[in-house]
Amino acid sequence: MTISIAIPNSSLSDGVTQLEKTRKISDIARACAIFKVDTIYLYKESDNKDDNQLLISVLKYLETPPFLRKRLFQKINELKYAGVLHPLKISSHVKHADSKKIKVGEIRDGVVISSKGKKFVDLGINQLMQYFGKANVGKRITVQFRKGYPDFIIKEISNEQIPEYWGYKVKEKGNLFSLISSWSGKIILTSKKGKLITKSLIKNYLNLNEPILLVFGSPSKGIHEILGSKIKQTQNARFLNFFPVQATETIRLEEAVFASLAILNFEQSSTINMN
């Protein structure tokens, strides 16, 4: 079972400065990394292109291993406050740079580069690996070492072949209704107007071998407002209230993402331990 989240491209509308917005994105990314979110979907709820681009750029930057960021990201305004971002420190990030320490079976991300008419992979270690695959120059790939130091042999692998959590994907979508309509698994729509969450209710979702999409509204609009009259046409979706006794008038998006994922994670781990 995998969990993905959907947030609006207006998620930063309550922020005043770019610094404040950058910190908010960092909090969301950290929550997604901690609780192994598969994909962050950005659905269209606003025409603010600046905030939309800031969301995409910072989320992707944070998910990229630090040793590859100079290869994949230019100096752009969206990353002006990259220095305040909290590192994710997921498995794909925590890697050493010493090629002599590479062991058979180790998995690393790299970037395909060109040098003297040949393709190589920069894997964040102190030597380049020749690349014979089909990926274009500038493409990020994942490889596994079939032979360690000094006679390296690498093989390109897919995300499905990685046994541990490797990071989230970021995907832009159309409006919320189109995203929900195209989702093939279960959908949880978070709302204070939803049904109060219970252990048995969550277990009904977690016991199913289907992907879950956890959907959040914007700082100014709840999901009911965003969907409007189309709310009656949603299928495989249920409104749930994760904060039935909240003492604050509102809950910030980054708080809602973290807490909701934590609740699902707790119930999931409880179910695994019982089995």
Q: Residues 85-94: what's their mean pLDDT?
A: 96
Express each pLDDT in 91-118 by its tens digit.
999 888 999 999 999 999 999 999 999 9
Express each pLDDT in 14-47 by its tens digit.
999 999 999 999 999 999 999 999 999 999 999 9
**Claim to verify: residue 217 and residue 251 sit in the same structural domain:** yes
E strands, the chain, where?
3-8, 39-43, 107-115, 118-122, 129-130, 140-147, 153-157, 169-172, 186-196, 212-215, 237-241
**Claim to verify: residue 115 and residue 17 sit in the same structural domain:** no
Tell me what percent of the residues of the chain surpass a pLDDT of 70: 96
**Claim to verify: residue 111 and residue 238 sit in the same structural domain:** no
Would you place residue 240 in the very low, low, confident or very high pLDDT band (cuts 50, 70, 90)?
very high
**Claim to verify: residue 229 and residue 136 sit in the same structural domain:** no
* pLDDT in the model for residue 208: 66
Judge whether 48 lies within some domain: yes
* pLDDT in the model for residue 89: 96
Judge whether 94 lies within some domain: no
* pLDDT in the model for residue 227: 94
Judge whether 167 lies within some domain: no
**Claim to verify: residue 184 and residue 82 sit in the same structural domain:** yes
Judge whether 249 lies within some domain: yes
**Claim to verify: residue 72 and residue 142 sit in the same structural domain:** no
CA atoms of 17 and 77, how far apart (whole Å): 13
Would you place residue 236 in the very low, low, confident or very high pLDDT band (cuts 50, 70, 90)?
confident
Please give the mean pLDDT across all residues of the chain.
92
* pLDDT in the model for residue 71: 95
**Claim to verify: residue 13 and residue 84 sit in the same structural domain:** yes
Express each pLDDT in 197-207 by its tens digit.
888 888 777 76
Judge whether 22 lies within some domain: yes
Provide the residue range defining the domain that includes 108: 99-161
Q: Is the pLDDT of residue 210 over 90?
A: no
Q: Is the pLDDT of residue 273 over 80?
A: no
**Claim to verify: residue 138 and residue 186 sit in the same structural domain:** no
In contact, 209 and 259? CB cutoff 8 Å: no
Would you place residue 150 in the very low, low, confident or very high pLDDT band (cuts 50, 70, 90)?
confident
CA atoms within 13 A on the CB side of 251: 20
Work out how many domains the chain is built from and give that number: 2
Q: Specify the DSSP element, H or E, that contains 116.
A: none
Cβ atoms within 10 Å of 90's Cβ, excluding its own: 19
* pLDDT in the model for residue 201: 82
Residue 268 phi, psi dihedral angles, 5° rounding: -65, -45
* pLDDT in the model for residue 269: 63
Q: What separation, in Å, do the N-terminal and C-terminal C-alpha atoms of the chain show?
A: 15
Q: Residues 242-253: what's their mean pLDDT?
A: 89
Q: Residues 209-216: what's their mean pLDDT?
A: 92
Q: What is the CATH number of the domain that holds 228?
A: 3.40.1280.10
Among 135, 161, 187, residue at a domain's last position? 161
Question: What is the three-class DSSP state of 23?
Answer: helix
Q: What is the CATH number of the domain that holds 141?
A: 2.40.50.140
E strands, 219-264, where?
237-241
Among 161, 183, 210, residue at a domain's last position? 161
Judge whether 82 lies within some domain: yes
Tell me what percent of the residues of the chain surpass a pLDDT of 90: 78
**110 bridge partner residues:** 141
Judge whether 168 lies within some domain: no
Q: Is the pLDDT of residue 271 over 60?
A: no
Judge whether 65 lies within some domain: yes
